[in-house]
Amino acid sequence: MIERKQELLAIALILIFTAPLFILGGNSHIRIHDNLDSNMTWYRVLLDSGNYLAKTGSNIPQMLDGVAPRDAFDSQFVGIVWLYAIFPTPLAFAVSQLITRIFAFIGMRLWLRDYIIKDPSKKYITLFVAVAFALTPFWPSGMLSTLGMPLALWAFLNIRKGKRSIWNWLILTLLPFYSSLILGFCFLLFLVACIWVYDIVKKRGWNWRFFGSIAYMSAIYCVVNYRFISQMFFQTNEPDSRSAFNLPNNSFLGSIRLTFKNFTIGHTHDQPLATYVILPVILLAFIVMLVKKDWRAQKPFLWLLALNFSLSIWYAFWWWGAWNPIKEQISIMRSFNFSRFHFLQPFIFYGLFALALVYFASRGGWWKKLAIIGLVLQIGVVFAGNSEILYRVAGTPSIDQFYARNQFQDIKAYIGKPQKDYRVASIGIHPSISQENGFYTLDGYVNSYPLSYKEKFREIIAKELDKSPLLKDYYDGWGNRVYIFSAELGKNYLFDKNSTKHIKHLELDTKAFKEMGGEYIFSAVPIDNASENNLHLEKTFEDEQSAWKIYLYKVGDLNAG
């Protein structure tokens, strides 16, 4: 009866956590970085482009003047895009969050119950650690890329042990449709493959069923991600933007510092929120084990701790400059980010947390109370990290305020021409806003596109880049954000309508802009020297429900100014 009540409480916590997204809808506050500024708009653009099902090698006409490759985005087999085809943007986001968190909870609970915590009297720890894990922040468009790992590992380990169940194979079949291979699961598959090799070395025999499960899931991922594979390995007509990425140049000491930063704070795309409760609890458990000299009986804990810290070392030292001679010779080491083994860390942290809590609870007395307090505190930490709290307090716009649909419809009506007949760009706001509203842009945020376009677009902003070494390195050395940069604004694209910022000394090559088909610039701030840039202020647009005040500038004739 108590266990049933605990299960109901666990489910209630997940529903309460996700409820604001459903209740507030477009008024909810969510992550902008690598979310509203990119992926959420990409889904809508893909669906509206008519090229969603296009053959490999096709382009998306609405972005980067039509050179954005269709294959740089998710294939038609990725489930999150289906949600955006069925539901409005805010509801699609909410449903995806609920799906991800429910299956994260189920997977973590199963993995802990069957392979980490064997003591049946500690089921409450298994249950609520699973809740805390399910409520951690994650990169939204990654879906189950990190939070689905315990579920996949549970299925793999079942097959490894010879457990025959259709559920194991169903999990391995369906997860590739709701997760990312390159942003998570390729690293889990590598880890599972290492377990298979370990079994061989330990003379447990060649477990072909286990090997077959790894190959099976890998094959499904190849089908789901056929566009990425095609672009990465088979489309070599011209260099893409990734080929010009700068090589990292971290020093040895800098890499050591980054190791501890990653281990204690995490990465923006897979934060376990371990800093304040989980890590102190884990380290305290480790110290007590050493002092009490019972660490030999805690091998799973020690192995997981060593693995997790090793992942931080790998992440940090991937950016060490000493690698560069090798990376210069092997192109895939420049274009693919092998540091991302850190995507394995969140579920390992929670496995360690569960083991530490069980270790304390088993000692009884105030140690058990400490375990319960730690569990409650961590649930409090993840609730405090709820996007509605985090981003509302930070003052970021809601979904509807960000996309400002009414305001941009007014701009569209004012221009009065079919949107496909002209090109626009943005200053001081993300291009995703105009793209979400149907405008065709010269700018955009794309992970891979022709290097020739990057060089062509650079002519527009060359003088601004020369003013700012930071922006110059950002664009030339990375360049996924093909933005109209201003040295006076820096890397800030969120100048809302309350901003008092002006651009006083803008230097754009508007002739190059015009030659590329650009006609209008949407600026979030006034450009004081607009006339010197052959720009004419057409009209200022404001809207009660928008976060922005948009200054619409039109580029003059090529022979003007």
pLDDT in tens, 56-65: 888 999 999 9
Indicate the domain borders of the chain. 1-30+74-394, 404-555
Q: In 3D, which of 516, 305, 316, 490 has the Cα closest to residue 424? A: 516
Q: Side chain identity at 166, as an amino acid letter?
A: I
Percent of the chain with pLDDT over 70: 98
Q: 118 falls in which pLDDT band (50, 70, 90)?
A: confident
| Residues 6 or more apart whose Cβ sits within 8 Å of residue 494 | 32, 396, 397, 429, 430
For the cut 70, the answer to whether the pLDDT of residue 338 exceeds it is yes
pLDDT of the residue at 559: 64
| Residues 6 or more apart whose Cβ sits within 8 Å of residue 63 | 45, 435, 441, 444, 446
For the cut 60, the answer to whether the pLDDT of residue 262 exceeds it is yes
pLDDT in tens, 350-394: 999 999 999 999 988 899 999 999 999 999 999 999 999 999 999
Q: Side chain identity at 32, as an amino acid letter?
A: I
Q: What average pLDDT does the chain have?
A: 93
For the cut 80, the answer to whether the pLDDT of residue 306 exceeds it is yes
pLDDT of the residue at 275: 94
What whole-number distance in Å separates Cα of residue 498 and Cα of residue 525?
10
pLDDT of the residue at 561: 45
What whole-number distance in Å separates Cα of residue 395 and Cα of residue 229?
39
For the cut 80, the answer to whether the pLDDT of residue 339 exceeds it is yes
pLDDT in tens, 532-542: 999 999 999 99
Q: Check if the beta carbon of residue 455 is closer than 8 Å to that of residue 479.
A: no
For the cut 80, the answer to whether the pLDDT of residue 148 exceeds it is yes
Q: Check if the beta carbon of residue 360 is closer than 8 Å to that of residue 372.
A: no
Q: Is 28 helix (H, G, I), strand (E, B) or coil?
A: coil
| Residues 6 or more apart whose Cβ sits within 8 Å of residue 206 | 200
- 313, containing H or E segment: helix 299-318
Summarize the confidence of residues 319-329 as an average pLDDT.
Answer: 80
Q: 236 falls in which pLDDT band (50, 70, 90)?
A: low
What whole-number distance in Å separates Cα of residue 100 and Cα of residue 259?
29
For the cut 90, the answer to whether the pLDDT of residue 427 exceeds it is yes
Residue carrying the six token digits 């030292």 = 317
For the cut 60, the answer to whether the pLDDT of residue 249 exceeds it is yes
Q: Comparing 98 with 326, which gets the higher pLDDT?
A: 98
Summarize the confidence of residues 524-529 as an average pLDDT.
Answer: 97
Q: 205 falls in which pLDDT band (50, 70, 90)?
A: confident
pLDDT of the residue at 463: 97
For the cut 80, the answer to whether the pLDDT of residue 234 exceeds it is no
pLDDT in tens, 36-84: 999 999 999 999 888 888 888 889 999 999 999 998 899 999 999 999 9
Residue 143 is given by DSSP the state: B
pTM across the whole model:
0.93
pLDDT in tens, 163-190: 999 999 999 999 999 999 988 899 999 9
pLDDT of the residue at 156: 98
